[in-house]
Structure formats: C-alpha cells, structure tokens
C-alpha cells in the first residue's frame, strides 16, 4: 500500500469484486474473504461479484459460493455473460448465436432470450467464445468454419489463464489466441478490461464512479477495466499477478495488497 492510501476506501459505496484468484482458488476460499465481505456491508456499502469467468451461469455461481460458505443471491453477480447478453441484445437482436462454452453458459444465454446453439446450423449469425471447461475439438472445428465465414466474432473475456489450486488452466484468451493462429482473426472482447461491464454494474447499483472500487488479481483485465471506467483499482497478489509482473506492467493500480485480508483495516 502506498503512503496516503489509508483513506483509499473511505466513502466507497460499491465494491466490484473479482472472484477467481481474489476471493478463492478453485474450491478453496481464502481465509479472510468472508470477513472482508461482511466488513464491506457493515460499513453500509455494497458489493457485486464481477467476474470474467463465463464457465458458470449465475445460478451455478450462487451454488459454488454458497458451498464455500458465502451467503449470496443471483442479484449479487455481474459476469461477462451478463455483458454478452447486453451486447447481443443491442447489436445483434434475434440472431442465433453459436456459443462456444459450457452447458451452464449456454443455459444462461438461453434463459435471457438469446437463441443459442452448439452445432453448425445455416442460420447462425454470431460466434461467441467463452471460457470452456467442456471444450472438444469439434467445437474448435466449428469455430474455425464460422470465423472463416466472416461472422461477427465475440469473446466474453481475454484472460489467458484461470488460476486454480493446482496451477493455471487455459482461459478464453488462450483459446482466442489458438483460433487466431488458425484463422488470422481475434474476437471483439466484451468483459474486463472493457469499461462497459463495470459501467453496467455501477448502473445496476446506481453508483457513480467516484464511489466505486474494483478489486482483482489481474492487471490487464481487472485494473485496466478500473482505469478505463474511471474508478479506483485495487490489485491483490493472491492470484495471477506477482510483484514482478506488477513492476513490469505499464498498467498500475491505485493500491496493492497481498490479499483482501490486508484491506480489512481500511474498512474499520
């Protein structure tokens, strides 16, 4: 933490919280995550879980966090899938979407009224790439065909890896890079670091940027999103970022902590 940052969180009304690498790793909740969440609401502030991970739908995230001991409801989440739904409704209304992702991902899109498929069909109008923990080679073949065809090509997030208790796994950004080598095209990204996802989350809570803070473990998504949205960006070193990547990065946070537990004294 930098000198003078003792007042960093004063007057903040909304905390936008990354999850993977920030509050937990895999199925392991960090020790101070629950006290941190309780302390936020004890001050009269609120939070939203703002994640780029589209592998789970909102209800599956509720189940996961509840299982980890965090009481939550669907309204506590704003994911890159929410950002994709907003974008598709505004830019490609009614178009059928080939959703390269998990069954949970497709289910949330479908429940929001987005026509989705995971098979090559003649009336597909958009390709949407998500973090797919159920990836098959056939999906990659289908994606290459649709990208080569010139369809609008979107991705929920540019994250290269997803941190887990056993190490890093290829995330949506890594899949996009692989598909670029095959097709020469990269997708239009919808989640962090784009400011739209943070701005939509703030609008949902009716909170202006000066009263909002984004907490996450990635410089190139979480902190870049905070900067582009005009809000305070706090980096935790409990996930992907390290002291070395922080030193080498042109993207710098407003404050750095080892984990969310170190932020507790600022919430008193």
- Residue ranges of the chain with pLDDT lower than 50? 3-4
Could you report the per-residue pLDDT of 89-136, keeping only the tens digit for each?
999 999 999 999 999 999 999 999 999 999 999 999 999 999 999 999
Spatial neighbors of 134 by CB under 8 A, at least 6 apart, are 101, 102, 103
The parent domain of residue 222 ranges over 5-52+192-267
- Tell which of 145, 169, 189 closes a domain: 189
**What pTM value is reported for the model?**
0.87
What Rg, from alpha-carbon coordinates, does the chain have? 18
* Ranges of H-type helices in the chain: 33-42, 58-67, 80-91, 103-111, 137-149, 172-183, 195-204, 224-229, 243-248
**184 shares a domain with 150:** yes
| Whether residue 126 is found in the same domain as residue 101 | yes
Q: Of the residues 189, 214, 229, which one is the last residue of a structural domain?
A: 189
Contacts 24+ apart (CB under 8 A), 173-176: 175/100, 175/129, 175/131, 175/132, 175/135, 176/129
Same domain, 171 and 130: yes
- Return the pLDDT at 3: 41
């Amino acid at each position: 933490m930098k000198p003078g940052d003792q007042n960093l969180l004063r007057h903040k009304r909304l905390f936008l919280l990354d999850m993977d690498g920030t509050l937990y790793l895999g199925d392991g909740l960090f020790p101070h995550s629950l006290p941190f969440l309780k302390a936020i609401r004890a001050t009269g502030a609120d939070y939203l879980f703002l994640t780029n991970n589209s592998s789970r739908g909102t209800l599956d995230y509720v189940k996961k966090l509840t299982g980890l001991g965090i009481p939550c409801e669907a309204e506590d989440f704003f994911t890159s899938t929410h950002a994709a739904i907003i974008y598709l409704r505004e830019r490609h209304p009614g178009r059928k979407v080939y959703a390269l992702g998990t069954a949970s991902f497709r289910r949330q899109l479908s429940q929001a009224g987005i026509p989705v498929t995971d098979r090559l069909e003649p009336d597909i109008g958009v390709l949407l790439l998500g973090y797919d923990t159920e990836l098959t080679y056939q999906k990659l073949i289908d994606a290459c065909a649709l990208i080569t065809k010139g369809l609008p090509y979107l991705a929920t997030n540019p994250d290269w890896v997803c941190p887990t208790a056993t190490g890093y796994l290829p995330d949506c950004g890594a899949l996009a890079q692989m598909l670029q080598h095959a097709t020469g095209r990269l997708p239009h990204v919808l989640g962090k670091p784009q400011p739209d996802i943070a701005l939509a989350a703030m609008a949902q809570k009716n909170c202006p940027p000066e009263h909002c803070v984004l907490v996450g473990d990635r410089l190139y998504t979480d902190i870049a999103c905070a900067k582009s949205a005009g809000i305070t960006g706090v980096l935790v070193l409990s996930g992907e970022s390290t002291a070395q990547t922080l030193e080498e990065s042109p993207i710098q946070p407003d404050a750095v902590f080892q984990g969310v537990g170190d932020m507790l004294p600022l919430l008193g």
